[in-house]
Amino acid sequence: MTSQGERHDELDFEFLGNREGKTYILQTNVFADGEGNREQRLHLWFDPTQDFHDYRILWNQHQIVFFVDNIPIRVFKNMSNIGVSYPTKAMQIQATLWDGDSWATDGGKTKTNWSNAPFKANFQGFDVKGCEVLQEGSDIQTCASHKYHWNTPRFWQLDPVRERQYEIVKRRYMIYDYCADRERNPTPHLECQK
């Protein structure tokens, strides 16, 4: 999902290329007010090319949660009260393919075999539940209303079952977290300075 413009907001699910026989890597990223570089990567516990899976994002004024098959794989809390930018702009959904050979595949050693084109993505059961904003600049405050179930207190934090699932995912499958990358982020983002 992305908004428009230089200071855009964006929430990403990104499947990174892999070498034959290697586990697939899923990367998530959060941009707020044009600031990104908040990548997290994890090995998937399944081959995403073999069957359909559910990928979902819960986004409200308290947190953003990325889910795979109803299991939380990433939580980004709203910490705007301490100066952390948080996505607030209206967004649209996009599906794209782009060349990340220079960084996304083991340091650029593996290259995309473009002779395998056309590349395809198939969607099944695609559904969007959201607050419709008809034009850029519209008042989106109504989108924070409790008339939308995802804004009710039940969705302000993970419940104990989902919290345990999330901890397991982080411990078993996460392979990169921008908060731990001191080489790339010598001065960690505010949300990482817990």
Q: 57-82: per-residue pLDDT in tens?
A: 999 999 999 999 999 999 999 999 99
Backbone torsions φ then ψ of 28, nearest 5 degrees? -115, 155
Residue 126 resides in a domain? yes
Q: Which domain holds residue 57?
A: 10-192
Q: Which residue has the tokens 């947190």?
A: 63
Q: What are phi and psi of 121, to 5 degrees?
A: -130, 135
Sheet with 55-59, edge to edge strand ranges: 55-59, 63-68, 71-77
Among this protein's residues, is 14 annotated catalytic?
Answer: yes
**10 a catalytic residue:** yes
Which of 6, 10, 183, 191 does the annotation list as catalytic?
10
Q: Please state the pTM of the whole predicted model.
A: 0.89
CATH of the domain at 95: 2.60.120.200
Tell me whether residue 43 is in a domain.
yes
Structural domains of the chain, count: 1
In a domain, 95, yes or no: yes
| 2 neighbors 94 (Cβ within 8 angstroms) | yes
**Which of 6, 14, 35, 132 is an active site residue?**
14
Write the pLDDT tens digit of every residue in 92-145: 888 887 766 666 555 555 667 788 888 888 889 888 888 887 666 555 677 888
With respect to residue 70, please indicate whether it lies within any of the assigned structural domains.
yes
